[in-house]
Structure 1
Amino acid sequence: MSKKILLALTSNADLGDTGRKTGFYVPEAAHPYRVFRDAGFAVDFVSVKGGAPPQDGLKDDDPVQREFLDAEGERLKSTPSAGEVDAREYDAVFYVGGHGTMWDLPDSRELARLAAEIYERGGVVAAVCHGPAGLVNVKLSDGSYLVAGKRVSSFTDEEEAAVGLDGVVPFLLQRRLQERGAKWEGGEKFTEYAVADDRLVTGQNPASAEKTARLVVEALA
């Protein structure tokens, strides 16, 4: 039976109080999706609130993104909410980034429960860019934070400042992961960097999405 991977998406469309829109970052879903499908995995979607999660960052000249939306556009109109998904069906969960994640992923108890259950059943938990926002409050059954003591990457505080949103996001992701006990690490800003540590796989930014997905495939092998 093929492995099943759950792509977790934000339901938040508002970039704080800037009046600008955000959502899940389409390239960070599309490129991992292709890696997973090429590896023979089945892919499902979940979002915080269910329904059609907001999209951001679509580049029409990227055939991988167009192919992804052509293939999955209908399913993306009606994703289940985190509370409607059975963790026992999945071998991995992959938190897709996008700035929207910063406002709703940390507070989704249902998504945190899904991740903890998948991990404690021997599965893989993964996230890229701002996706690790979904990891900051995930606790295991012994009460410890999932990220504590593990090598973890994410969108960096330097990158957040470079895009001018360090004063907009509700917290700085790198710093919060470090506060949770993660052994945070990253590379030069906006370059590929991903790390796997004990079935926890994380990537730094959009450029790292494909590598993060490849590390998930390796971890599931």
Structure 2
Amino acid sequence: MKVLFVLTSHDELGDTGNKTGFWIEEFANPYYTLLDKGADITVATPKGGKAPIDPNSDSPDAQTEDTKRFHKDEATQKLINNTVKLEDVNPDDYDAVFYPGGHGPLWDLAEDKTSIKIIESFNAKQKPIGFVCHAPAALKNVKKENGEPLVKGKKVTGFTNTEEEAVQLKDVVPFLVEDMLRENEAIYSKAGDWEAYALVDGNLITGQNPASSGLVANKLFEMLK
């Protein structure tokens, strides 16, 4: 069971002067869920090297059992500090791909040509592709083999407009995940703000927010079994 995790390399929150990156819980929960079940995990980013952590995901109120485990786990921290460059990844070597969120992916993974090709390659072979929270941003420019948006006609979820409004970044982000998915003709649905919610449509798994990362990880594992 070989799983590729793709993290953002982007650490600037628009022109606010604040930092962003990936959300620790959305990495840690799926990472340990799959690792503990025997998965061999590779972590990659567009630029390779150190993946930036969103400082807000490191605040005391964002801590979970999995983030606490991450902070004590030097081997996994080393993985985060030395990620593989996305260009050096061969999708054929993996059984599934998972994208954790955080605001970073809105800037880089949404437009990254290598990431787009990797998702298209996994999808063409009907391998599981998982995304949580802001990570569905990476699907923005991904196409099916017929040239239509990959999410067209698929049941999906992702970070909601009202959740973005609640964190006061609606006017900072380059686009809203919910709006983008709807514009790409996905069948978008959501639970209440901050509630755990995940959907499976074929080989595509999407989760709404940080609370949904465990649901996505478990659905990904079920698909791999």
The TM-score with structure 1 as length reference comes to 0.95
Deviation at 1:47, TM superposition (A): 0.6
How far apart, CA to CA, are the structure 2 residues paired with 1:186 and 1:63?
A: 25
Give ranges in structure 2 of 5+ residues lacking alignment. Answer: none
Name the amino acid aligned to 1:58.
D
Residue 46 of structure 2 is matched in structure 1 by 48
1:10-29 → structure 2 map (5 Å cutoff): 10-29=8-27
Partner of 1:31: 29
Q: By how many angstroms is 1:203 displaced?
A: 0.2
Amino acid at match of 1:116: E
Alpha-carbon distance between aligned partners in 2 of 1:188 and 1:62, rounded to the nearest angstrom: 21
Off by >3 Å, runs of 4+ in structure 1: 59-63
Give 1:66 deviation, angstroms. Answer: 3.5
Structure 2 residue identity aligned to 1:66: K
Alignment partners' CA distance in 1, 2:7 and 2:108: 10
- Is 1:181 paired with 2:192? no
Find the aligned partners of 2:189 and 2:13 in 1 and give their Cα distance: 26
TM-score (norm 2): 0.93
2:66 is aligned, of 59, 64, 71, to: 64
Which residue of structure 2 lines up, in the alignment, with residue 212 of structure 1? 216
Which residue identity does 1:72 align to in structure 2? T
- Cα pair 1:195 1:201 within 8 Å, conserved: yes
Aligned residue identity for 2:19: K
Secondary structure of 1:134's counterpart equals helix
Aligned with 1:55: secondary structure?
A: coil
Which amino acid is 1:45 matched to? V
Q: 1:145 aligns with which of 131, 149, 155?
A: 149
Whichever residue aligns with residue 137 of structure 1, its letter is N
Q: CA deviation at 1:103?
A: 0.7
Can you list the C-alpha shifts for 1:72-131, whole angstroms capped at 9, x where unaligned?
Answer: 111211212211100001111111100111111111010111111112112111100000
Count of residue pairs the alignment pairs up:
219
* Contact 1:33–1:68, Cα closer than 8 Å, also in 2: no
SS of aligned partner of 1:74 = helix
The Cα of 1:67 is off from its aligned counterpart by 2.5
Distance in 2 between residues matched to 1:217 and 1:122, nearest whole Å: 15
Inter-partner Cα distance in structure 2 for 1:191 and 1:59 = 20
> Which region of structure 1 is more displaced relative to structure 2, 150-159 or 137-146?
137-146
Paired-residue identity, %: 40
SS at the partner of 1:40?
A: coil
1:122 corresponds to which residue? 126
Distance in structure 1 (CA, Å) of the matches to 2:182 and 2:69: 37
Distance in 2, Cα, partners of 1:127 & 1:64 = 18
Q: Helix, strand or coil for the counterpart of 2:18?
A: coil
Instruction: Give the partner amino acid of 1:24.
Output: F
- 1:170 aligns with 174
Distance of 2:142 and 2:203 partners within structure 1? 14
Structure 1 residues 95 and 18 mapped into 2: Cα distance closer, same or farther (>3 Å)?
A: same
